[in-house]
Amino acid sequence: MVDRGGWPARARGRGQGGQVVPLVAVALLLAGVLGLGLVHLAAGASRRAAAQAAADAAALAGAAGGRAAATEVAAANQARLVRYREEGDDVVVAVERRGARASARARWEPDDGPAGGRPTAARGG
């Protein structure tokens, strides 16, 4: 059998059956590496978010009840209070949780209610 160019025709696809396997293997390897990288990034972001939540809660507790309250709330969030500082009406804390550090600031705002005041929302310190 001869094709239009005068060359002997070969059965289509013969001898080329395994050429796509290395390409698919490389694509799967790259997808796996990318997936592992994304998992690592997500885990880091999750650790930082959990540390920030613990810092916010500890700062609010510290504004309402002092160092002991901040330490207790940090521990309840599986974090360790590494810094506590009172700056006027503000409380600044830093916590460490599973290798991630975060800080927050809260303020005690006096009012005329029976409790005598309330802490305001914490914000990064």
Q: Kindly indicate the confidence band of residue 31, based on its pLDDT and cuts at 50, 70 and 90.
A: very high
Tell me the C-alpha distance between 55 and 85, whole Å: 13
Q: Mean pLDDT for the chain?
A: 86
Q: Kindly indicate the confidence band of residue 107, based on its pLDDT and cuts at 50, 70 and 90.
A: very high
Q: Domain residues for 87?
A: 22-119
For the chain, the domain total comes to: 1
Task: Supply the pLDDT for residue 122.
Answer: 58
pLDDT at position 6 over 70: no
Percent of the chain whose pLDDT exceeds 90: 61
Residue 16 in any domain: the answer is: no
Region 55-81: mean pLDDT is 96
Q: Any alpha helices (H) in the chain, and if so which ranges? A: 20-76
Residue 125 in any domain: the answer is: no
Order of strands, sheet of 90-97, starting from the edge strand that comes earlier in the sequence: 80-87, 90-97, 100-110, 117-119
Residue 85 in any domain: the answer is: yes
Letter for the amino acid at 39? Answer: V
